[in-house]
Each structure stands twice: as C-alpha cells, then as structure tokens.
Structure 1
Amino acid sequence: MEVFGLLYYHYGVILCLALIFHAIVTKLAANKKFCPRRLPSGPWQLPIIGSLHHLLRGLPHHTMRDLSARHGPMMQLRICEHAVVVVSSAEAAREIFQGHDAAFEQRPSSPGIDDVYAGHNKMGVLFSPYGEHWRLLRRVLVTELLSARRVQAFRRLRQEEAAHLVSSVVSTPPGQLVNVDKALAEFVAESAVRAIFGDMLPDRAAFLRMMRHGTAISSLFDLRDLFPSSRLVRMLPRSQRMRRHRQEVTRLIDDILRHHEERKKAEDAEGEQEQEQEQEHDMIDVLLRIQNDSCTRLSLTPGVINSLAMVLNLTSEIVQHSYIRLFDKQSNVPQPFIGLQAYAYVVMGARA
C-alpha cells in the first residue's frame, strides 16, 4: 500500500509540474504575440473604480485641467469599466480630428442615452455607428429637413409664433413682470413642434413635458454608464423608468405617423392636383415621402423616423437655451443690444 501511495504521489507531482510548465509556456507565447499598446500615463488608480475618485474633487473640467497640468496634454483614465484617453491641447486635438479622424469616428454612447434617444438598434442619426447609413441620414437632414428652402417654407409658421409672443408681451398689464425664459421656451418649442409634427399633435404641452422629462432623466447619473456589463445594475428601477418613457414617446410618435399617412391617403383619394412639395405640411411629411421613394437607398423605418423626430425636437431645446443666454448677456452688457431694443420697440409699437 505504501508503494502504491508513493507512486500516486509522484504521479501527482509530475502532473502539477506539467500543468505549471504548460501555463508558463502559454503565457510566454502569448506575450510574444501580443504587442502592448503604448498608452499615455495617468493618475494612480483604485480597484474597481479606477480613476473615478480623482473626478470627485470638484467640477469635471477643472479637475481635468489640474490633472493634465500634472500628467501632460494626453493622459489615460480608467473610469470603472471604461478606459479613456483625455486630450487637453489644441495640437493633439488637431492631430486627432484632422490626421486620424477615421480612427475616432465612433460616437460615445451610454445605456441611459440608448434607452431614451437611440433605441431601434441605434439607427438614429445621433447615435448610429459611422457608416453608409449615418451618411445617408445626415444627407436627409442637410438637404431635406434643414435646407434653406425648407427653412424658408416654415417662415410663415415662425412669424405666427413670433407675433403670438409679441402680443403676449404687449398684453401684459403695466407693472407686471414678464418671465422671459418661459416666453422664449414656449416660442421655440411651439415653433419646433409645429415644424416637425404640424397640427397633428393633439396635446403639445403634454408632449413637451414628456420630452423635457426624457432629457432630464437621460442627463442624470446612471450606474450603467460606469458598469455596463453588470446584470445587477440593469435591474435598478431607474432603468425600467427610462424604458417606459421611451415606449410612451414611441407610441405617441407612431400615432402621429399613422395620422399623417391617413391624411396623405385622403388627399390622394380626393384627386388634388397640387404639387408634391406643396402637400408636405411638416417635416414628418418629408420623411414619409422619402420613405415611399423607391429611388432612395435609405430605409426609413418607423423607428428611424421616430429617432429623427426626437433629435429635431431635442435641437429646439438647444436653440431655446441660446436665446435665454443671449438675453442674459443683454442684461449684463446692454450696449451692443441698444439697436435691437429700439427696433423691437418700433415693431411692437407698429403691431400694437
């Protein structure tokens, strides 16, 4: 028995040594084949969270400035599961976007943004991968939806909304303050919604509240942005709320698309002899016309039209904040706006 036990012991030792030798040889072979990437230096990291603790000391752009002054114009950060390279010099940024633009063509995304704005397999213009589909969507935006001819076609709509804005300001009782931010927000939102959806939106106020809610929840902190591979994080209630919001917006825009298609069929059935461009009352009509065009190479599915409509409505919020910022500058430095103010008084007096 002792002989057999000693024999098994020797066999076990030989097997362990063989496994260790195989692991060492495999590791050495992998190191020879693998060429490590030359990454820039960066601040020290902690397990799991990486460099996240460095970004919690203050405002992110101030923290990035301080870290770049210490580690150079290019530095590496690891934020939980994401490894990023931060570029903080004009020369390096010019080299990236002019000399190596194809290597940095992919757009950053996050699970929260995907739940609210992307969806539909990321086929929207804002978050779709760079390629033929994205170039065709961009061409549709530039040449069809946001062209000079299309902007001129909606001039009457903007004039109506501007006249409504001026009349609401004129009708304000003397001595009562006017909420300029709210008035400008309503002006931009109404103009954008009418240009995109026309008069087929039953409750504009509810739709605008829904879009503002989506923008708010997509900009909040989301653990899925830091740990996208974690199944436990995906089960959080906030993730479910984002999905429900996207489903509500999708259902509403699908109803609008159906109403537009029914109106188009009714106009065709009446045998109107108008030109096709004159029948396009809003941007949804333009997208439906492109969808039905057999010559186009772009497949505008309802999901893609949904994403385009949401992106167009999102740009209205950017314009809204630009207007508000302009009036804030006017209150701080009023001299450049004296001529504009005099012109506004003349127009308001003529309209009154």
Structure 2
Amino acid sequence: MEIQLLSFNFIAFFLFISFIINLLLKGWKKSNSLDKQKKLPPSPWKLSFIGHLHHMMGPLPHRSLRNLAQKYGPIMHLKLGEVYTIVISSRQIAKDVLTTHDLAISDRPESIGMKILWYDYTDIGFSPYNDYWRQMRKISIVELLSKKNIRSFDYIRLDETSRLIKSIQSSSGELINLTTKLFSLTSSITSRATFGQIPRDQETLITFVKKGVALAAGFDLADFFPSIKFLKYISWNKFNLVKIRRQLDSILDVIIDEHKDKLATGKIGNGELGGEDIVDVLLRLKESGELGIPITNDNIKAIIFDMFTGGTETSSTLMDWTMAELMRNPHVMAKAQAEIRQAFKGKTTIEESDVGKLKYLKLVIKESMRMHPVIPLLPRACREEFEVGGYIIPMKAKVTVNIWALGRDPEYWDEPESFKPERFENSSVDFLGNNFEYIPFGSGRRICPGMNFAMANTEYPLAQLLYHFNWKLPKGMNPNNMDMIELMGISGMRKNNLYLTATPYHPLVDG
C-alpha cells in the first residue's frame, strides 16, 4: 500500500534527479550505517542514495515484491530512499509479527497524501496507534459497525440492490459496464447508511474520492526522503491533494451542518427510518462531553470519509473480481447459480436471511478474496525495535505483509493460480485473521473493523445478480483471454472495467 511502483520513464527521471541532489548533499550520511550496525533481513543489491528504488520498476508492487521474495527469502528489507521497509511473504513470520509483535508494529506508515486526505490521520484506518485511535475504533465497533447496526441497514441493501436489478433488466441484451454499476451500488448503500440519504453531490464526491485516493497512493519524493525538508514544499502531489481536500470539505461540511440543523429541531436522528445514521452518532458523541478525547468536525469528516471510501471500494472491488472469475470459470458459475436458484425457488422476495443458506456462494467469495485481496499489501509501521526470525526490525521501519503473495503461495495452496472454491469446503481456514496464509482483512489490533459491513454488502447483491440473470462475455471474447491485472493503487481493484451482457432468468422457462 505504501510502496508504490514507478514507470520506467519516471524511474529514469528520478535517477537523474537523485544524481543532482547527491551532488548538492555531499555531507549526507552514509546509507550503509544501519545495515552494518544491525542484523537486517536479506536484501537485493542497492544504489547509493536511492537504495532499492530501482528494483520497484514492475507494473504492480505486490507482484514485484513476490518476485523479489522468491529470490531473497520470505523476509527481506528494502531501503527506499531513506526509509527502511521490511517485506514479509511467509505465513509463520506473518503470524509472529502480527501476534507476538503486534503492538510493536501497530502504527501506520506516514505519508503526505494520507495526512492531507484523511485529516491529519484522524480517521481509523490511517491513524497512529494512540489513545485517539483506541477511542475511535471502540466507537466504530460498538456504535457504527456493530452487527446490530449492520442488520439495521438491511432495508437499504435490499432497496439499492432492487434498483440495480431493475437497471440491468432495462438493458437486457445490451453490453453493460458492470464495474461502474457495482461501484454505484456500494456508494449508494454506504451513503444512505452514513449520511441518511444519498447526497446531492454524490457524483462529485465520488469523483473527488477517486482522484484523491489515486493521488494519495502515488509516489512522492518527500515520503522517501523525510530528512530533506524542502521536498515537502515542492510536491505537486501535495498541491493537488490540498485542492481536493478543500473540495471535499465543501461537501462534507454541508452534510454535517444539515444534520446539526435537523437535530436542533428536536429530531431524534436523520436516518431514513427516523433513527440515527453514522453522522448522527458522531455528532451525539461530540456534544455529549463524555469522550475521553474530544472530537471536532474535522475528526467527524475523517471518520465518515473513511467509511465512504472503505465501504464503497471494498465491496464493489470484491464483487467485480468475483464476477470476473465466474465468467472465467463457467463450471463454478453454473454450480453457484444452481444453488441459488434452488434455494430461492418459489420465492417472490429474497431476504438477506435467505443468503445464509448459500454455502457454495460463500466459498466462491472466499476463493475470490484469496486470489484477489482488496488490500494486496498490509501496511504497518514499527514503534519499537524487535527481533523476528533471527533478524532485527528497526524502529520506524515500515513493515509490509504481502497478503496477495501469501494467497498464491504453492507451499500453502494446491494449484494456487486456479479458482477452486471447493478448497474451502472442508477447511477451517477463514478470513477472521487467525490463518496467516489468508488474511484479506488483516489481523491483530488493526484488523479491518468494517469486515462484516463489507461482507453484507457483497453476499446479498451477488446472490441477486446470479439469481436474476444469465451472464455472457462480449461477443468474440474468450474467457481464457480476460484481462485479470490489478490497477496500481491502495486497493487491488481490476485495471479494466468488466463489460457483460445480462439476460433475465425466467424460472418457469429456464429452470
């Protein structure tokens, strides 16, 4: 997540710039000093000043790091500029660092982009490990993302999924961009749960989110050379992110002010059924005076922006990959649809409770997360020095667990490049953070608090899509030739949108 790959042209340009800076910084300390003092994990060869940045020339970081690990071992270190990064691609070492040493690596890596876009790290995902984070995580688990609250959003999922089904039915036989429809679905569900309604500026908000997250995930010299202070002031990324942050403020401030105005009239909450939505909960806690660490409007914006980006992108990306794999594996598609259509046979309305019976669909989703984790690289930052596997992990080093590589390691998985949901049928391996060859939501203190929300927003819509439609690839496209490459960025979404043709399923005719 924090390790971003550079195009060949940018690497060439950066090498030239680094040469110039090197001439200007003759007194710069020797880059090998820490390597000599500490027993660091193995590493590839490096260059003066830029360290191992030249090794990061592939198209995607998780794939390049897997390739390096195959040569240099399951734990290795890279020096990216001035920043030491420990890369872990082993189940046992991942278990050690995420259990025994979980507290030591419970911080998040710092980044100019994350600092700006997530309100000085006052969200939950990127906040450092401190009293504020502990307070807000507790609130998220108890008040915002509890199982009770997630169940209370059932009617929103049903309503928005129904709209999606009708939209696809109206385009019967036409080529549709399923990727954009899934993103629109999850953004609407998340908006209604968080804000009580779909904001007037929904499309603008989505545009700013996509632009901002892409910029925040991008390369910035200042992140790799924190001691060179002037780099922070010449960052073009920073300039653009500040501009987007101001635009986000203009939308989120209006949402918060509208909630305050309605609550001032004596209204209990702004939720669609008269109860509290997530903004209401945060405003209530802010005004209660009961929080150990008082929160501000900026803190509320950080949390709801976290909710919107995470809630929208996680589920839509997972559904997108799952549908793509089903199209590549027609026998899996047929088996999943047979289960769903048998379970829903004779029903005029499908409730969320019905989805619990769909055992094979759950296996399909688990297999999709194994091959295509939404967050391919799990980022942590070291708060104190410790030893693991006979190597020293220095304080302030970034620690990255390659979730994508673990999910495709032949040491842990039979035929890891094949999509085989049945592998989970009689297996105790689950995504709750205890099986370290399979941690799509992370593990330990910083396991994703939105895991249940993401799964609820994935299972029900997928069941409906597979029940109501028969799906086909564009004419002339071979399933074996589908592009299954990820887009570079924070999440591991598909690089290219998924276009499919949907034909309505008629039980009396097709069944």
Alignment pair present for 1:207 and 2:205: yes
Q: After superposition, what is the alpha-carbon deviation per residue over 1:152-208, rounded to whole angstroms, capped at 9, x for unaligned?
A: 222222222112112112222x53223222222211111111111123722211111
The structure-2 alpha-carbon separation of the partners of 1:132 and 1:176, relative to structure 1 and needing over 3 Å to count, comes to: same
Q: Residue 297 of structure 1 aligns to which amino acid in structure 2?
A: G
> Equivalences for 1:255-266 in 2 at 5 Å?
255-266=254-265
Secondary structure, aligned partner of 1:44: coil
1 CA distance for matches of 2:246 and 2:238?
Answer: 13
Give the structure 2 partner of residue 100 of structure 1.
Answer: 101
Q: After superposition, what is the alpha-carbon deviation per residue over 1:118-164, rounded to whole angstroms, capped at 9, x for unaligned?
A: x23x2221122112221111111111111122112222222221121
Secondary structure, aligned partner of 2:126: coil
Q: Residue 169 of structure 1 aligns to which amino acid in structure 2?
A: I
User: Normalized against structure 2, the TM-score is what?
Assistant: 0.55
The structure-2 alpha-carbon separation of the partners of 1:57 and 1:170, relative to structure 1 and needing over 3 Å to count, comes to: closer
Stretches of structure 2 lacking an aligned partner (at least 5 in a row): 1-35, 345-466, 470-503
> Which structure shows the higher helix fraction?
1
Q: Residue 224 of structure 1 aligns to which amino acid in structure 2?
A: A
2 CA distance for matches of 1:232 and 1:321?
Answer: 34
> Equivalences for 1:164-179 in 2 at 5 Å?
164-172=163-171, 174-179=172-177
Do the aligned residues in 2 keep the contact of 1:96 with 1:104 (CA within 8 Å)?
yes
The structure-2 alpha-carbon separation of the partners of 1:307 and 1:50, relative to structure 1 and needing over 3 Å to count, comes to: same
2 CA distance for matches of 1:185 and 1:152?
Answer: 21
2 CA distance for matches of 1:221 and 1:262?
Answer: 41
1:40 CA drift (Å): 2.9
Do the aligned residues in 2 keep the contact of 1:112 with 1:224 (CA within 8 Å)?
no
2 CA distance for matches of 1:327 and 1:74?
Answer: 34
2 CA distance for matches of 1:277 and 1:326?
Answer: 31
Considering only CA atoms, is the larger Rg found in Structure 1 or Structure 2?
1
Identity over aligned pairs, percent: 26
The structure-2 alpha-carbon separation of the partners of 1:58 and 1:255, relative to structure 1 and needing over 3 Å to count, comes to: closer
2 CA distance for matches of 1:262 and 1:130?
Answer: 34
1 CA distance for matches of 2:102 and 2:146?
Answer: 26
C-alpha RMSD of matched pairs (Å): 2.9
Give the structure 2 partner of residue 325 of structure 1.
Answer: 321
Do the aligned residues in 2 keep the contact of 1:170 with 1:348 (CA within 8 Å)?
no
Secondary structure, aligned partner of 1:299: coil
Stretches of structure 1 lacking an aligned partner (at least 5 in a row): 1-34
Secondary structure, aligned partner of 2:38: coil
Give the structure 2 partner of residue 128 of structure 1.
Answer: 127
Do the aligned residues in 2 keep the contact of 1:112 with 1:218 (CA within 8 Å)?
yes
> Which structure shows the higher strand fraction?
2
Range that drifts further, 84-93 or 244-253: 84-93
2 CA distance for matches of 1:202 and 1:277?
Answer: 16
The structure-2 alpha-carbon separation of the partners of 1:247 and 1:277, relative to structure 1 and needing over 3 Å to count, comes to: closer
Higher relative contact order (CA 8 A, sep 6+): 2
Do the aligned residues in 1 keep the contact of 2:201 with 2:251 (CA within 8 Å)?
no
Q: Residue 80 of structure 1 aligns to which amino acid in structure 2?
A: G
Give the structure 1 partner of residue 45 of structure 2.
Answer: 44
2 CA distance for matches of 1:320 and 1:232?
Answer: 36
2 CA distance for matches of 1:313 and 1:57?
Answer: 31
- Paired positions, count: 309
Give the structure 1 partner of residue 288 of structure 2.
Answer: 293
